Structure 1
Amino acid sequence: MQFSTQPLWLVGFRPFFALACLSGLALPVLWALFFSGTLTPPPAPFSPTQWHAHEMFFGFGWAVMGGFLLTSTKNWVKIRGYHGVALILLVGAWLLERAGMWFAGALPPLVFRLSSNLFLASIVAMLLWSLIRHRQSDSFRDNYFFLIILPLFLVAKNLLLSDGHFQAGASMTMGLFRVAFLVMLERTLTQFMKNALQATILRNALLDTGIKLLALLLVVASLLPVAVAAWIGLLLGLLLLGRFVYWKPQLALRRLDIGIMYLGYLAIVAQLLLQFIDYLVQPGWIGSVPLHVFTFGAMGLIIPAMLIRIVNGHTGRKVVFDRLDKTVLWIMIAGFVIRIVVPQIDPAGYLHWISLAAASWFVSFSILAWRYIPYLLQARVDGREH
């Protein structure tokens, strides 16, 4: 069997979810070691904080996003999807980007820019090509949100690493991930609640579209007057909270595998409300807490649950969360509490809590890697090709 025909290269989620597991266990630990002074970051034309934000969003985050979108877009527009050599080249570009970020200080600026943008530019172009070329067979009319946000990730990425534009880049990046999460949560939670709990949750086209348009507007929050961005964020948070009440959380929270996604939804609301306080009530008081509420809450809670569900379902296995899977989710919830809540009670132990939060990611994603990477390397158990 040729290397390009191995099961790993059959569908986009296979190689990229493997990379997500490996980067999810390694990147937070590396940052904790840098932050504590145990390790010295390699020389780079950007700060260690910029490296950390970039690698979590565009290393880990886009391994997840890339795997999800490469898999889902082919289903949305009913095509075979990218596989084989195309995926090998994308993975090579992702690995090149990680190396470029690590050795950035030794690279000529042009080489660094090429290595830093090759993966994202390539995968965005491929995703856009699928969505635009097969628009007539698209199952979701609101996929135009992806047509808008995907190219903007390139802008956000380069702002994030630019001198003097880090905050704007971080705000834009979080805003783009927020839009993607809101689109995904609408679709998946509707399906999960119906299939698992025989429950129908509120779906109102005007409300749903309004929520996504407000989220899209917040992508450029750094370009808006502070008061305008603050009130838009507050309005979005309140609309999300109101819709949440009608999404039957009293049922969802009885099941950890679905309930944790509801907690991730609430983390998006909490981030928006905290951002409003930071903008207007007491500027600068809460520092990076809103950003980490999003990364540890929305990303940290939703992603492992989705990864478990997708890997099982798309390798022909039953989507059942056993004790070990639930342990992973509980550890991630503990990581959120350790990183966000406990430092507010014990700020003197801040360094200690960052290390423990990184350890929670290490343990959780190590379990996921040990358990699910073998599934990604094997053919489907139900005999289907992909």
Structure 2
Amino acid sequence: MNAQVYLNGYPNARTIEAENVNLGFIMEFGNLETSSMRAALAELPVLLASAPHRLMFFAGATAIIGSMLWWACVLGSGVYGAVFPASPVPAGWAHSIFTQYGMLPFFMFGFLLTVFPRWMGQPALGKRHYVPVFIGVFGGYLLSHAGLLDRKPLLLAGLVMMLAGWTYALFVLGGILVHNGAKDRTALSCFSALVLGFLGLAAFTAFAFGASPELALVAIKTGTFGLLLPIYFTVCHRMLPFFSASAIGPRYQMFKPAWSLPVFWVLVLAHLGLELARLPQWLWLADAPLMAFFLTHWIRWQPWKCMRPGLLAVLHVAASWLPIAFGLYALQSLLLFFDSNIFLGRMPVHALTIGFFGSMLVAMVTRVTQGHSGRPLEMGRIPWLTFVLLQIVVLIRLFAEVAQDASGWLAIAAFAWLVAFLPWVLRSLWIFLTPRIDGNPG
């Protein structure tokens, strides 16, 4: 009770009555507020499951921090001598696998489970189609990461769950593709990459159960060049010219030739084949043409016309990392071909994975999130901050390959990733956990 209600040390009777009324109102309001909060929490699963992109993007945003936090702790413990639970499989391999088959595919599944029916003129998918994918892949991902803390049975169980979720996704998306007669080349290309991704994840699962370590290396290379790069480029090939034309208008000439995807698949499979055959000195035969291929597309996409609005500019800036990455791949292969003592290390792969995959992730997911939450199609301050900081992260990671204290710079790059992404992830999670601001469903 407030001290002001006392007169000469004793409470006034009317004031006591008023205080009791106020106290009752406050308690009633508090009960209502608690009930509303409980009701809101109870509705969260329904809200999350209201659309495939909302559910799977939520998983992906969570994994962006989860995967890199684990990796940063692994690197930091090695540099600073801290104690951290040992991974049941080589930590570097686990990092490659769970970023390629866990973190990034959540966004892919969310996007493809949304657009596959639209691309092929079929009804939108229901919860029974995409919720099991979320349970399997995300549940398995979480279980696997618990297993990376020196709990191998959990790791094995998690990998099996991820494969089960992936299998169901192929069943759902494959059914749409079959119903369409596989006429949509974009969908066929994405589905083919998901099949290769399934085989890569199965190969790593077999290794984790005791098969040859060669299977783990096959899985890592397949994840980069059989799964991620094909889906990323295929989606860019379809969507980037469309977004550009929508924003720029008639003066923008779309470049989306029918020959792009077949030529791309021939070259990327040639690269993957040379990687698996362990012939890095011959990779330039595929990588030099790939560099020219990506540079041609980037130029024909006319980025100089697309620097406004910002949401379009970041797509073109992200795409510029493709020719840069394959220029580095071709250079490294030629250095090996001529027996040079210069070695670029993992510069090329991180220009591709952090530079292209990471930047395009921020650009594309921000656009989809804005549009599907009823918000304006614009690049806000937080997405801009993350995008700019991520470009710095790429440069730090590339520098780590030539730095004297390489392990220290690797740890710095990992923690810098967390700093760059955390504001964007928190903002994204808030959007995924709240209704659309325009009141529409989804």
TM range (shorter): 0.7 to 0.9
1:200 aligns with 2:244: no
Identity %: 17
Equivalent of residue 165 in structure 2, options 112, 116, 119: 119
| Conservation of the 8 A alpha-carbon contact between 2:71 and 2:95 | yes
Match of 1:322 in 2: 380
In terms of mean alpha carbon deviation, does 319-328 or 113-122 score higher?
113-122
1:334 aligns with 2:387: no
| Conservation of the 8 A alpha-carbon contact between 1:22 and 1:366 | no
Letter in 2 for 1:298: F
| Conservation of the 8 A alpha-carbon contact between 2:113 and 2:130 | no
Match of 1:189 in 2: 240
In terms of mean alpha carbon deviation, does 242-251 or 219-228 score higher?
219-228
What is the Cα deviation at residue 263 of structure 1? 3.1
Match of 2:27 in 1: none
Indicate the RMSD between aligned Cα atoms, in angstroms: 2.8
Match of 1:305 in 2: 363
Equivalent of residue 214 in structure 2, options 137, 152, 164: 164
Equivalent of residue 367 in structure 1, options 410, 414, 423: 423
1:34 aligns with 2:74: yes
What is the Cα deviation at residue 183 of structure 1? 0.8
Question: In structure 1, what is the Cα distance between the partners aligned to 2:349 and 2:420?
Answer: 21
Larger Rg, first or second structure (1 or 2): 2
User: 1:141-173 CA distances to partner (integer Å, 9 max, x unpaired)?
Assistant: 342212322211122123346313333322211
1:246 aligns with 2:300: yes
| Conservation of the 8 A alpha-carbon contact between 1:234 and 1:276 | yes
Question: In structure 2, what is the Cα distance between the partners aligned to 1:5 and 1:112?
Answer: 22
Q: Identify the structure with bigger relative contact order (alpha carbons < 8 Å, sequence gap 6+).
A: 1
Question: In structure 1, what is the Cα distance between the partners aligned to 2:382 and 2:186?
Answer: 36
Letter in 1 for 2:47: P
Question: In structure 2, what is the Cα distance between the partners aligned to 1:352 and 1:253?
Answer: 36
Letter in 1 for 2:51: V
1:236 aligns with 2:290: yes
What is the Cα deviation at residue 212 of structure 1? 4.0
What is the Cα deviation at residue 60 of structure 1? 0.7
Give the direction of change, closer, same or farther, for the CA distance of 1:330–1:42 in structure 2 (3 Å limit): same
Question: SS at the partner of 1:318?
Answer: coil
Question: SS at the partner of 1:107?
Answer: helix
Equivalent of residue 343 in structure 1, options 388, 394, 400: 400
| Conservation of the 8 A alpha-carbon contact between 2:147 and 2:153 | yes
What is the Cα deviation at residue 78 of structure 1? 3.2
| Conservation of the 8 A alpha-carbon contact between 1:70 and 1:82 | yes
In terms of mean alpha carbon deviation, does 258-267 or 321-330 score higher?
258-267
Give the direction of change, closer, same or farther, for the CA distance of 1:99–1:254 in structure 2 (3 Å limit): same
Letter in 1 for 2:165: F
Equivalent of residue 348 in structure 2, options 284, 290, 294: 290
What is the Cα deviation at residue 67 of structure 1? 1.1
1:154 aligns with 2:198: yes
Equivalent of residue 180 in structure 1, options 228, 231, 234: 231
What is the Cα deviation at residue 101 of structure 1? 4.5
Question: SS at the partner of 2:387?
Answer: helix
Question: SS at the partner of 1:282?
Answer: helix
1:59-138 pair list within 5 angstroms: 59-93=102-136, 94-103=138-147, 105-107=151-153, 111=157, 114-135=160-181
Match of 2:49 in 1: 9
What is the Cα deviation at residue 307 of structure 1? 1.2
Letter in 2 for 1:169: A
Aligned length: 381
What is the Cα deviation at residue 192 of structure 1? 1.7
TM-score (norm 1): 0.87
User: 1:52-104 CA distances to partner (integer Å, 9 max, x unpaired)?
Assistant: 11111112111111111111213212334334354433222222333135326
TM-score (norm 2): 0.77
User: 1:97-139 CA distances to partner (integer Å, 9 max, x unpaired)?
Assistant: 3313532644189746523422222222222222223447x7x
> Gapped runs of 5+ residues in structure 1?
none
Match of 1:385 in 2: 441
| Conservation of the 8 A alpha-carbon contact between 2:242 and 2:254 | no
In terms of mean alpha carbon deviation, does 208-217 or 72-81 score higher?
208-217
User: 1:307-347 CA distances to partner (integer Å, 9 max, x unpaired)?
Assistant: 1110111122221112222112111112112212x3356x1
Equivalent of residue 315 in structure 2, options 248, 261, 264: 261
| Conservation of the 8 A alpha-carbon contact between 1:120 and 1:154 | yes
> Gapped runs of 5+ residues in structure 2?
1-38, 208-212
Letter in 2 for 1:103: G
1:55 aligns with 2:98: yes
